[in-house]
């Protein structure tokens, strides 16, 4: 039975990407394989050395490469052992951001095994996989709401990465539910001292280091010189991370009005067991989120959010 399950899962994974015969390319593919600690992961390949790796555990993106260069930070001490979340990559934060509710911090989506959904689509230039999460009986005991969360991970022509989330309330009892959400993206940078975050000037933010007191950002470009943890509200649809020694990351988002900027800095990093003591220097989190105004869904209603990541040199 275990072999049959694995075989069906494999064929499901291979079926999610179809191209027209005239455009088929051996350099475009979706494959399922084993990752760290024998956890299942999916690898999306595109032309010119672009790829994305996503674990079924947490629907967690752990690698995004363009021309063979890694763009996502994952800690060297990351623990790929459920139920521990993976440190780095792009964790999916649902149905609760941080401690803004009664659930464990950042909810449970990042600690669950997702399934591959056999949702066939014809595309000519994109490689993607559709993942699905439904609540377990254990989830319903701590958050009594039925839902379907579909996440499409797409590697676009040129190597851009797009994450499309679709959350539907499937509660037959007629109960609405409310959630907060974030893609907790860890970007790989040359050194935090070389980084500026652009696009957040004159916006209000909640400072997590000051009991979420509300302030207004007066700096045109944000630089990180100490521990930094802020939720920026009602942000533009396009933001950027400028790494003076490497590249510029462009973050485009729809349905995700807020943005979190986080770096633990030296003292906090030493308290995080699955983060190397000096690794804070080589990462910055810029998270596309829906936090300031939680999303409420009535039965049958659906919410969509989209995040697209690209680079400029």
Candidates 53, 126, 279, 287; catalytic one: 287
**Residue 177 · residue 95 · CB < 8 Å:** yes
287: annotated active-site residue: yes
Candidates 126, 145, 184, 279; catalytic one: 184
Tokens 């485009």 locate to 252
Angle made by CA atoms 174, 179, 183, in degrees to the nearest 5? 140
Kindly write down the DSSP assignment for every residue of 231-248, as one continuous string: EE-S--SEEEEEETTS-E
**Residue 38 · residue 113 · CB < 8 Å:** no
Pull the structure tokens for residue 83.
């139920």
How far apart are the two ends of the chain, measured CA to CA in Å? Answer: 49
122: annotated active-site residue: no
What is the number of H-type helices and E-type strands within the chain?
3, 24
Cα(8)–Cα(193) distance, rounded to whole angstroms?
A: 48
The DSSP element (H or E) to which 61 belongs, if any, is strand 60-66
Cα(194)–Cα(124) distance, rounded to whole angstroms?
A: 38
Cα(309)–Cα(188) distance, rounded to whole angstroms?
A: 13
Name the 3-class secondary structure at 4: helix
Q: Which residues are catalytic?
A: 184, 287
């Amino acid at each position: 039975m275990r072999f049959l399950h694995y075989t069906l899962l494999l064929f499901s994974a291979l079926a999610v990407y179809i191209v027209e015969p005239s455009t088929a390319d051996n350099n475009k593919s979706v494959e399922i394989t084993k990752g760290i600690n024998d956890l299942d992961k999916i690898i999306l390949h595109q032309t010119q050395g672009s790829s994305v790796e996503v674990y079924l555990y947490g629907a967690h993106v752990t690698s995004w490469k363009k021309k063979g260069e890694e763009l996502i930070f994952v800690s060297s001490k990351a623990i790929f052992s459920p139920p521990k979340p993976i440190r780095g990559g792009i964790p999916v934060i649902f149905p609760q951001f941080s401690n803004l509710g009664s659930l464990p911090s950042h909810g449970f989506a990042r600690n669950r095994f997702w399934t591959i959904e056999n949702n066939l689509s014809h595309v000519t230039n994109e490689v993607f996989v559709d993942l699905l999460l439904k609540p377990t009986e254990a989830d319903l005991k701590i958050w009594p709401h039925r839902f379907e969360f579909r996440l499409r991970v797409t590697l676009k022509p040129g190597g851009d990465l797009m994450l499309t989330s679709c959350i539907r309330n499937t509660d037959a009892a007629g109960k609405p539910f409310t959630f907060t959400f974030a893609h907790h993206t860890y970007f790989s940078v040359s050194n935090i001292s070389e980084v500026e975050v652009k696009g957040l000037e004159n916006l209000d933010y909640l400072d997590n280091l000051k009991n979420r007191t509300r302030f207004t950002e007066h700096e045109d470009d944000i630089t990180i010189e100490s521990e930094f943890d802020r939720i920026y509200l009602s942000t533009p649809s396009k933001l950027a991370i400028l790494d003076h020694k490497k590249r510029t990351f462009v973050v485009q988002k729809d349905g995700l009005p807020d943005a979190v900027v986080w770096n633990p800095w030296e003292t906090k990093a030493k308290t995080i067991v699955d983060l190397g003591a000096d690794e804070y220097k080589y990462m910055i989190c810029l998270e596309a989120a829906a936090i300031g105004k939680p999303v409420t869904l009535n039965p049958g209603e659906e919410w969509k959010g989209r995040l697209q990541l690209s680079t400029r040199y």
